Chains A and B, each alone.
Chain A
Amino acid sequence: MNSVDSLTGFLNRFGCFHTAMRLAAEATGNHQTFGVIWLDLDRFKQINESFGHLIGDEVIENLATRFRPCVFGRAEISRVGGDEFVLLAPGFNRDQAFQLAVELAGIVQEPLNIGSLTLRPTASIGVAIHEPNEDPLTLLERADHAMFAAKSKGGNNIVCSGDEPIPGRLGVTLAREELSIENTLHEALETGGFCLHYQPIIRADGTVEAVEALMRCKLNGENFSPMKFIPVAEKTGLIIRLGEFSLLQGAMHARALQDAGHETKVAINVSRAQLISPEFTRALHAALLCSNASPSLIELELTESLFMDISSTVQQNLKEIIATGVSLSIDDFGTGYSCLANLKDIPAQKLKLDRAFVTVLPEDHRALSVVQAVTQLGHALGMTIVAEGCENQQQIDVLLEAGVDAIQGFFYARPMPDKDLLPWLKQRSNKT
């Protein structure tokens, strides 16, 4: 049977498979690896349909000419379909195969002049490395599968077999590392691994303005950083559950503190995913009903990313939140997406200055000027101004001098577990 592709002179599908069988046997015998690179041109069908098959063939011939010197002596190349090339690279490990794939992707992207046309093709590439005793067909399938994963990322991409996104428990496709984080999240959610810690916010007169509820995750004795789990929680939708957990726990704690004689406002962080959901206020009402907490003791801290886009759903949610009697504050103000033009659209009663302005005090006079200006602006809008991240008395002095109303930071207290908060509040109220 003919094993050569007539257009390019490369091996065809049949030749490719036979070579793969030989290389797999050799690799197993010599205890060596070999790599497979599966390259598929993006939108090649469009080229054929728009310019005709002759132009399509010319594209393939041109690319084949470019590939030849690059792969010579390194890999066996074959054309296994209209716009699909497979390279079999003996002795290649994952890094070497990935490097060759990067070179090929670069070659494909060079502008291609055919007649008066200039085309800039791209390719999706899958890479797989032969595993000991692996059947060559399975190996080729893995490379093909990885190529599809690269294609589903929007093309012009390289994916190594094993790194393809896999559907997680909730049906959202994730990379391997993300999958293990998702599993940890589920385990923590099902074993009570999440809890809230509370950090007090202190007014200028020394009384407690509120406590901010901060989520902590501990699993099998180890702390699990929010930096790690929040992106996966956002991707999988679990962020909604974490947010609703905070709502209920925070509200229940506000109620318990009230019963213990401390009418302390609990500030609960709300994610963007929660607030853009039309179900948000139903969840808030559910938490209020279940906890029987007074809405006036609950404050919702909105992340600044909300400024990116205040949709009608968000506006409706904000309006309904205010109608329940729950108050709003804007967190981390002054960095990132903060936009003064949108400030007037958010009916918040409190503005929390980002720690970036605080940690550089008292030395940084320019930062102090920003603090003074934002404080004035906030006051003009009827807002309470809180400074986050205060660590020493000098910072507190300049902040209070600048008109800031309340302070949050390690200087007063670190975030503490719920069991420590009540004694802390008692001690504090004795002092003041």
Chain B
Amino acid sequence: MNLQMPTPTTVDLMVEKAVIDLGIPPCPVILKRFVTETRKEEPDYNRLSSIICADVSLSASLIKTANSPYFGTRQRVRSVNEALVILGLNIASRAVAGIILRKSFPTSPNMERFWDASSRFARLSGWLAQSFDSLGIPAEDAYTFGLFRDCGIPVLLKRLPSYSSVLNSANSEAKLDFTQVEDAVLPTNHAMVGCVLAQSWWLPEEICLAIRHHHDKSILSTTISPPPLFSRKLIAISQLAEHLVQQQLGLSLTQEWGKLGTTCLNLLDIDESQLEALTLEAAPLITANE
């Protein structure tokens, strides 16, 4: 037991319990410990492993993530220690955050589908960032953004009974921004809720800003900060990932590509022929049995 680890205070635990009961997760102690260790000059892998191994399902999920075809490893990962080495600490800590985020919400078949989709976009986003390294977006940031991008949705579904129908309208809206549909009937929107949640989970500001603006066409096409170009590229990568997944799996749940696709391709400097090649290359990854 590391004596230097912060011990959760009573109020900490109370906050965590109270809020988890309501379905809204504050930054968990296990993530704080993990991130604090990874930020050290010489992180101790054994200590990191023991933090993860304290939670069996977290360990299993991390190993599964490391074995995902998106991370391009041929060798089968069997232990948390190996997973940390294969993924690298940056991706590993983001993956841990994503897994805990998912676990923090109550399980239901709808939620499972939601998180499966988020994980898929996230992994494909990471792969896209790697494929276009000239964009200067680290794969772990694209991956994290994909995981957290829509985390405001489960919060709103949990808290506002009317949100389900608002979500359906926003998904099928072909002209207005997604969040404009939400703002017309709600006091806030999933992008803002997701941003506030991501801030409290210590995500980098560029990712928080990308979450806040990921449906905002006018901001996506501007050249003036904020948000920084980095955030806009993150948005473009994730929208492309979502489009590729929806296209490949024959799903067309949203109208986002129709509204934002051209702007995203411009931001990523990809033309139609490159998009075609990319679609072919990404197909086996999307359909691979994970």
Q: Is B74 an interface residue (CB 8 A)?
A: no
Chain B residues with Cβ below 8 Å from A285 are 187-188, 192
A191 to B26, Cβ gap below 8 A? no
Partner of A252, one of B15, B152, B159, B199: B15
Q: 1/0 per position for B203-217, CB-CB distance to A under 8 A?
A: 111101100000000
Partner of A256, one of B14, B202, B206: B14
B192 to A255, Cβ gap below 8 A? no
Name the segment of A114-122, A165-173, A396-404 touching the other chain. Answer: A165-173
Residues from 120 to 152 in A contacting B, C-beta threshold 8 Å? none
Chain B residues with Cβ below 8 Å from A291 are 19, 24
Name the segment of B109-117, B169-177, B221-229 touching the other chain. Answer: B221-229
Question: Closest B-chain residue to A420, C-beta based?
Answer: B9
Chain B residues with Cβ below 8 Å from A279 are 192
B35 to A191, Cβ gap below 8 A? yes
B196 to A244, Cβ gap below 8 A? yes
Contact-residue bracket for chain A = 35 or more
Among B26, B195, B204, B205, chain A packs the most CB atoms within 10 A around the CB of: B205
Give the docked Cα–Cα distance between A336 and B202 (Å).
Answer: 35
Give the docked Cα–Cα distance between A287 and B194 (Å).
Answer: 10
Chain B residues with Cβ below 8 Å from A171 are 225-226, 228-229
Q: Is A419 an interface residue (CB 8 A)?
A: yes
Partner of B14, one of A245, A260, A281, A286: A260
| Nearest CB of chain A from residue B178's CB, rounded to whole Å | 14
Give the docked Cα–Cα distance between A256 and B16 (Å).
Answer: 9
Give the docked Cα–Cα distance between A241 and B192 (Å).
Answer: 12
Partner of A286, one of B15, B192, B209, B227: B192
Q: Is B18 an interface residue (CB 8 A)?
A: yes
Q: Is B36 an interface residue (CB 8 A)?
A: yes
Q: Is A186 an interface residue (CB 8 A)?
A: yes
Q: Is B11 an interface residue (CB 8 A)?
A: yes
Partner of A419, one of B10, B27, B200: B10
Question: Closest B-chain residue to A188, C-beta based?
Answer: B202
Partner of B183, one of A256, A282, A283: A282
Chain B residues with Cβ below 8 Å from A222 are none
| Nearest CB of chain A from residue B235's CB, rounded to whole Å | 15
User: Contacts A190-B204, A252-B26, A289-B155 hold; do A283 and B192 have CB atoms under 8 A apart?
Assistant: yes
User: Contacts A282-B187, A289-B24, A419-B11 hold; do A252 and B19 have CB atoms under 8 A apart?
Assistant: yes
B32 to A192, Cβ gap below 8 A? yes
A192 to B155, Cβ gap below 8 A? no
B189 to A189, Cβ gap below 8 A? no
Residues from 29 to 44 in A contacting B, C-beta threshold 8 Å? none
User: Contacts A192-B32, A418-B11 hold; do A237 and B226 have CB atoms under 8 A apart?
Assistant: yes
Q: Is B83 an interface residue (CB 8 A)?
A: no
| Nearest CB of chain B from residue A87's CB, rounded to whole Å | 36
B202 to A192, Cβ gap below 8 A? yes
Chain B residues with Cβ below 8 Å from A286 are 152, 188, 192-193, 195-196
| Nearest CB of chain B from residue A192's CB, rounded to whole Å | 6
Q: 1/0 per position for A274-286, CB-CB distance to B under 8 A?
A: 0000010111011
Q: Is B156 an interface residue (CB 8 A)?
A: yes
User: Contacts A260-B14, A289-B155 hold; do A169 and B228 have CB atoms under 8 A apart?
Assistant: yes
Q: Is B197 an interface residue (CB 8 A)?
A: yes
A281 to B24, Cβ gap below 8 A? no
| Nearest CB of chain B from residue A419's CB, rounded to whole Å | 4
Chain A residues with Cβ below 8 Å from B183 are 282
Q: Is A248 an interface residue (CB 8 A)?
A: yes
User: Contacts A255-B18, A282-B187, A289-B24 hold; do A248 and B204 have CB atoms under 8 A apart?
Assistant: no
Give the docked Cα–Cα distance between A237 and B35 (Å).
Answer: 25
A256 to B193, Cβ gap below 8 A? no
| Nearest CB of chain A from residue B139's CB, rounded to whole Å | 18
Give the docked Cα–Cα distance between A97 and B172 (Å).
Answer: 65
Partner of B205, one of A169, A247, A252: A169
Give the docked Cα–Cα distance between A376 and B155 (Å).
Answer: 45
A170 to B196, Cβ gap below 8 A? no
User: Contacts A192-B36, A253-B11, A282-B183 hold; do A238 and B205 have CB atoms under 8 A apart?
Assistant: yes
Chain A residues with Cβ below 8 Å from B39 are 190-191
Give the docked Cα–Cα distance between A279 and B200 (Å).
Answer: 18
A292 to B196, Cβ gap below 8 A? no
A256 to B18, Cβ gap below 8 A? yes
Q: 1/0 per position for B69-92, CB-CB distance to A under 8 A?
A: 000000000000000000000000
Give the docked Cα–Cα distance between A115 and B203 (Å).
Answer: 65
Chain A residues with Cβ below 8 Å from B26 are 252
Q: Is A177 an interface residue (CB 8 A)?
A: no
Q: Is B22 an interface residue (CB 8 A)?
A: yes
A192 to B35, Cβ gap below 8 A? yes
A189 to B202, Cβ gap below 8 A? yes
Give the docked Cα–Cα distance between A282 and B188 (Å).
Answer: 4
B192 to A282, Cβ gap below 8 A? yes
Chain B residues with Cβ below 8 Å from A289 are 24, 155-156, 159-160, 188, 193
A248 to B196, Cβ gap below 8 A? yes
A245 to B187, Cβ gap below 8 A? no
B11 to A170, Cβ gap below 8 A? no
Q: Is B133 an interface residue (CB 8 A)?
A: no
Excluding A170-B225, A192-B36, A252-B19, 19 further A-B contacts by CB distance (< 8 Å) are A169-B228, A170-B205, A170-B227, A171-B226, A237-B226, A238-B205, A245-B200, A259-B18, A279-B192, A281-B187, A282-B192, A283-B188, A285-B192, A286-B188, A289-B156, A290-B193, A290-B197, A292-B24, A419-B10
* Cross-chain pairs A/B with CB under 8 angstroms, 10 sampled: A190-B39, A191-B36, A192-B32, A244-B195, A255-B19, A285-B187, A287-B196, A290-B24, A290-B197, A292-B19
